[in-house]
Structure 1
């Protein structure tokens, strides 16, 4: 049986074989430069006619957007696709088939399409570690090879090259507009949507520590949280200057993006209702004050013709307010431990007709080696629940809390699992991880790297205490 990653929905094998050639002729029903570029990585190809080509790409309006069919027969290969993205995904599968074969390929019929529409990854580039363009492009290649289609670079503070705030940018501490556009082009060529991401309510500490913006803080003296006093991080939603700052951030970022989505975040406004807005929150409810500011920001997002996305941590406990949100807004429900109640939340959101996306995590942050059992269960839980309750998709998160001390390879295994599970929500997917990681990610012929990384990721089971969203040894190191 052929191995294709992620697993395909249907594969029927036949008795005959197709003879591979040193050079193939290929016919495209319509011009698809990026698909042809991907195909060329599997060998030599030249243009041919529809009737006599070795490989034919034919559009099929009966197929869904990202769906495809591959028919390998004795003398030809036919690919039917629902869209250009479907043709690209078919090409990725065909490349894998050819790579596994020497001179003959078993004839077969493959029918495939994703279980979840959005199959994404969000990388924190703002907490003390800004990746290079080369690193981000490598991530895109890994994602694209596994048929993921959505990437976000999380921005808070000054990790994006805002033209209006260049006075606050530090060398090597941000991604410039030109770099962002180059990354977007690279991503789009591989059918990955680079979705702009910018926080604008909580997580605004970097802005509020500047003299220019200090008066925008909800609680200027900060807040005591998680055992220590923390600096102000939440905008005062009643101060008109807060919205003006958010408007300018959007004006600098959104026009350069071709994506139809924008993640406005708005998570963890810790001080809300504890400072300048306390009186109005006591009067009308914290949730209503929160939604009021969300809607004002959404008006700005609409000016750039984008669909807003928002984290769900505030409103998941205020279901009575969800009908105030725009009907097309994507509600991102995040939770990063093995037992996070995705299914309970999604059942409620589905009943309320709220469009939602599951947001599990790599469980790499606040640790040195990750939390393997947590990320494995968390990702599978998220994808299964999203499919069961007809969610829009899954976005895996990789945060940089407390300095982003984890090394990038710690996140590779959960990223691969999330890609495989979001394409095909199937039991046993985790058992495919080792082979793919060793062959395609670590390029390890000995076959030990995947086991080593994942076994080390379970070191936290040997500690005295389980920590949610972290490991005990990490906190011990940080507090020493």
Structure 2
């Protein structure tokens, strides 16, 4: 089979919309697919005809098929079992491809190298779902897939600063997953977890990433068709810098900076004063320039996310910049700093691209018109009906912008599944309608990052699915989700884990009164993690005793089903251990919530009857012990103490 002539084998116009077919076979739903009569028997040795510039695609396919006991080799003969080529006339969509499986062989024609890579990912899904026959031969169904992404950038951001710093093995396996979901950008959210040479005081207890680790991860991402994007917050969220001697002078509100307070507060300390750099202090730009000089050379991608979100110290009127804010206004002070950061980024090369969070500037129409045309604003919003359509302002001013929804796992333990589904789907639809060029799934770790990575897989998967094909968001039904999760996330042949993750992920709603206004968190997390002697009154008033009792029943049932799950692959055991802890922690929280509701007059946990405290403590200690074990499954030691003390605060009160 000649690669150059393979495009004549099929016509894209003859394909059916995937909406008319059962597409559970595919992790992300193709735009057009048609199954035809017949099958192809794939043997243990397969020859490949390869077009120019596709070495990376071949190596990926070769490695993956080797794991499936199929040997792949490039052949110069005119007849091949598999042919892979590029023809932008046949496939006009960027990153698009046509995969054709007939009784005679497999043909891939793509718009570009990226499209050929995604075609291989789809082919491997077909291989994995196909039946084995005599020996090591695989019987593939005949089909044709014509597919392309609706968003040119489909990214995932992982918070590694609050407080979980994952092991390299965890990151490599995560990148494998991202490739299978056709994600093409990956970011690690950095505040203080890169080992900058001159700033050891900041990161010495954080188990930071070394330059050579980032370089290795960057190379691994490239092999998987993914760009690793540099990320360093550069204004707010810098409390872990300014709390140290020698950096406090760079704070916007140095009088409010307290290392003791920052290390003692358990919930939402980042919203308090004293966590931003001063944008009008020349020393701030000197610091940031030094950070970029060390960080950027470790990435082959020339994009950097500079942060600039939530400048709360400025919004409150500032301290160091107060006089200038009164003279020029906060908007001008902020925009001057943004422009200085932009110039700094460009000083490392005119091809550098600056991403920044758009929460402040989105309401500043005049400043939007003044933005450089090559910046990329990132519009984040994590509620059900967040107005992502506001981003159209950027599009109308000729600026590429991204929608940035969330996995909705942060400030929870078991996730917030319904919030995630609604937020991720709305972002996909509103972004496409209003000219967004990218879709960045965010996975945050606010308030201790207590939820394990397996809890966030639901949101990551759906975000990938919705951003590749927004039609799948428009017609999405939760009824189909358990099977999709079992097939493409948890690989549970007994089909239990998908339903468990949904049930556990919706417990946060089950415990609330119907009129509760609690948002962007789980009440069950907030009755475990709090600052003083008793959970916040707002949280306690949102809870329903009947709902807490039903939650305990749901969690008990889920734990029984957990014993019946049969997860394949290297991650199966990790997922089961993590969910075991999640269920135990949520069950304890629900029981504790009932005790608190039965004692409305107390002013401190210590005011509970001694017998109640003793019983609660007896149940809490195993939860804390298991948290230590679960943490070590995927993460480094750094950050653990900061996360653990937030849970351990309750133990000290119960004693």
Question: TM tier, shorter chain?
Answer: over 0.9
1:455-466 mapped onto 2 (5 Å cutoff)? 455-461=503-509, 462-464=511-513, 465-466=516-517
The equivalent of 2:372 in structure 1 is: 326
Question: 1:50 & 1:434 partners in 2: Cα distance?
Answer: 45
Does the alignment pair 1:60 with 2:87? yes
Does the alignment pair 1:442 with 2:442? no
- If each structure's helix is expressed as a fraction of its own residues, which one has the higher value? 2
Does the alignment pair 1:313 with 2:359? yes
The equivalent of 1:340 in structure 2 is: 386
Question: 2:269 & 2:42 partners in 1: Cα distance?
Answer: 65
What is the alpha-carbon root mean square deviation over aligned residues? 2.1
| Partner of residue 90 from structure 1, selected from 99, 106, 119 | 119
| Partner of residue 311 from structure 2, selected from 251, 269, 280 | 269
| Partner of residue 13 from structure 1, selected from 26, 31, 35 | 35
| Cα shift readout 1:407-465 (whole Å, capped 9, x = no counterpart) | 11110010000011111112334555433422343232111111111111111212233
The gaps in structure 1 that reach 5 residues or longer are none
Cα drift, residue 335 of structure 1: 0.8
1:380-419 mapped onto 2 (5 Å cutoff)? 380-419=425-464
- Secondary structure of the residue aligned to 1:221 is helix
| Partner of residue 156 from structure 2, selected from 100, 121, 124 | 121
Contact 1:17–1:107 (8 Å) recurs in 2: yes
| Cα shift readout 1:224-262 (whole Å, capped 9, x = no counterpart) | 997999351111111111111111111110122111210
| Partner of residue 500 from structure 2, selected from 440, 449, 452 | 452
Q: Structure 1 stretch 226-235 or stretch 245-254: which is displaced more?
A: 226-235
The equivalent of 1:23 in structure 2 is: 45
Contact 2:233–2:307 (8 Å) recurs in 1: yes
Contact 1:413–1:433 (8 Å) recurs in 2: no
The equivalent of 1:304 in structure 2 is: 348
Contact 2:392–2:435 (8 Å) recurs in 1: no
| Cα shift readout 1:146-187 (whole Å, capped 9, x = no counterpart) | 10011100011x201112323443256211111111111111
Contact 1:38–1:92 (8 Å) recurs in 2: no
Contact 1:376–1:430 (8 Å) recurs in 2: no
Question: 1:289 & 1:31 partners in 2: Cα distance?
Answer: 48
Question: 1:227 & 1:466 partners in 2: Cα distance?
Answer: 21
Contact 1:291–1:325 (8 Å) recurs in 2: no
1:112-151 mapped onto 2 (5 Å cutoff)? 112-151=147-186
- Secondary structure of the residue aligned to 2:309 is coil
Question: 1:476 & 1:185 partners in 2: Cα distance?
Answer: 43
Cα drift, residue 17 of structure 1: 2.9
Against the structure 1 CA distance between its residues 125 and 54, is the aligned structure 2 distance closer, same or farther, given a 3 Å change threshold?
Answer: same
Question: 1:147 & 1:11 partners in 2: Cα distance?
Answer: 17
Contact 1:334–1:359 (8 Å) recurs in 2: yes
- If each structure's strand is expressed as a fraction of its own residues, which one has the higher value? 1
1:126-275 mapped onto 2 (5 Å cutoff)? 126-156=161-191, 158-170=192-204, 173-222=207-256, 230=272, 232-272=274-314, 273-275=317-319
The gaps in structure 2 that reach 5 residues or longer are 1-21, 132-137, 262-266, 535-655
Q: Structure 1 stretch 68-77 or stretch 200-209: which is displaced more?
A: 68-77
Question: 2:111 & 2:270 partners in 1: Cα distance?
Answer: 54
Against the structure 1 CA distance between its residues 430 and 413, is the aligned structure 2 distance closer, same or farther, given a 3 Å change threshold?
Answer: farther
Contact 1:338–1:374 (8 Å) recurs in 2: yes
Question: 1:172 & 1:242 partners in 2: Cα distance?
Answer: 22
The equivalent of 2:107 in structure 1 is: 78
Against the structure 1 CA distance between its residues 261 and 473, is the aligned structure 2 distance closer, same or farther, given a 3 Å change threshold?
Answer: same
Cα drift, residue 50 of structure 1: 5.5
- Secondary structure of the residue aligned to 1:469 is coil
For these two proteins, the number of residue pairs brought into alignment is: 478
Contact 2:202–2:241 (8 Å) recurs in 1: no
Contact 1:222–1:229 (8 Å) recurs in 2: no
Question: 1:317 & 1:261 partners in 2: Cα distance?
Answer: 25
